[in-house]
Amino acid sequence: MKRCILPQETEPSDEALPATRNTFAVNRWRNGAAMAEIDHIAEEVPVALEYNGVSHAVMLATPADLEDFALGFSLSEGIVASPRDVYGIDVEIRPNGVAVKLEIATEAFVGLKARRRALAGRTGCGLCGTESLDEVMRVPAAVHSAASFEPALLDAAFAQLQARQALLRDTGATHAAGWLRADGTVALVREDVGRHNALDKLAGALANGNEDVSRGAVIVTSRASYEMVLKTATIGAGVLAAVSGPTALAVRLAESAGVTLAGFVRAGSFVAYAHSHRLKIS
């Protein structure tokens, strides 16, 4: 499905994608003293999503796992109903950013044009450019999930997630979204400077994989906003666990969509805001 196109180059090569991090000379102030150091900084680049040759969205994102990002964004935004509606994904390096070019089914493209939607997003901004309130307040189908987790598994899961955040360790500037299996294994991890982007990347990876979404959980290193709950419900996952708190709108959506929502997941504690029965605490 995926291919990377380089200017004046016939052979595809993922190696030409922009780096996910770069180095800068900095002055660090610590304990009353200044020190010159070299620091690693996370990159963010404009990523244009084009459907059947028409530009639809431009997001600032970390230039990694862009095929997952494009597929996950397409699914979570309702542009396509199924991965089968995406016939191909090409990644094209351009002088001012990266274009991810998707070929989608005619019916999906007709629906996309009818929505007349053109996003121009800042980092992690899932709603920038939405033209109407009706487009924002989408209601996902109710999630039917058999997921069930002991509280201790959440602690262990976030420890696994942190251990696999290579870009965060290098830069301190990225979020991550992970997929927690029923057996407590964190099977997939995706990182990005934007929390929505990280979750879209995870959604794309899940759509291309063989995970049992009815029995797993999404874990994220961010707050649980409305968009994060909406994307989790679109995946079909029954549990969203976040290290920070939710918004009131997110709690209401989790209640109506059947998503178990846990926030402030820290060592030995969390707060269950919706459908706590999947966390075996009541």
240 in a structural domain: yes
Give the DSSP letter of residue 144: -
Of the two residues 282 and 49, the one the predictor is more confident about is 49
Domain of residue 167: give its range.
151-279
Annotated catalytic residue 4: no
Looking at residue 89, the DSSP 8-state letter turns out to be E
The answer to whether residue 39 is domain-embedded is: no
Query: Looking at residues 229-246, what average pLDDT do you find?
Result: 96
CA 247 to centroid of chain Cα atoms: 18
Assign residue 176 the CATH number of its domain. 3.40.140.10
Q: Which residues touch 28 (CB under 8 Å, ≥6 apart)?
A: 34, 35, 36, 37, 39
Of 25-29, 49-53, 71-75, 128-132, the one with minimum mean pLDDT is 128-132
In a domain, 145, yes or no: no
Length of the chain: 282
**pLDDT above 60 for 228:** yes
125-133: list long-range contacts, CB under 8 Å, 24+ apart: 125/59, 125/194, 125/196, 126/196, 126/225, 126/227, 126/231, 127/227, 129/57
pLDDT at site 144:
93
Instruction: Output the pLDDT for position 18.
Output: 86
Domain count across the chain: 1
Question: What is the pTM (predicted TM-score) of this model?
Answer: 0.88
Quick one: average pLDDT of 241-252?
Answer: 95
Write out pLDDT tens, residues 63-84.
999 999 999 999 999 999 999 9
Q: Catalytic residue among 6, 125, 156, 166, which?
A: 125
In a domain, 267, yes or no: yes
- For residue 163, tell me if it sits in a domain: yes
| Confidence band of 265 (pLDDT split at 50, 70, 90) | very high
Q: Write out pLDDT tens, residues 85-134.
A: 999 999 999 988 999 999 999 999 999 988 754 444 444 555 554 545 55
166-221 pLDDT per residue, tens: 999 999 999 999 999 999 999 999 999 999 999 999 999 999 999 999 999 999 99
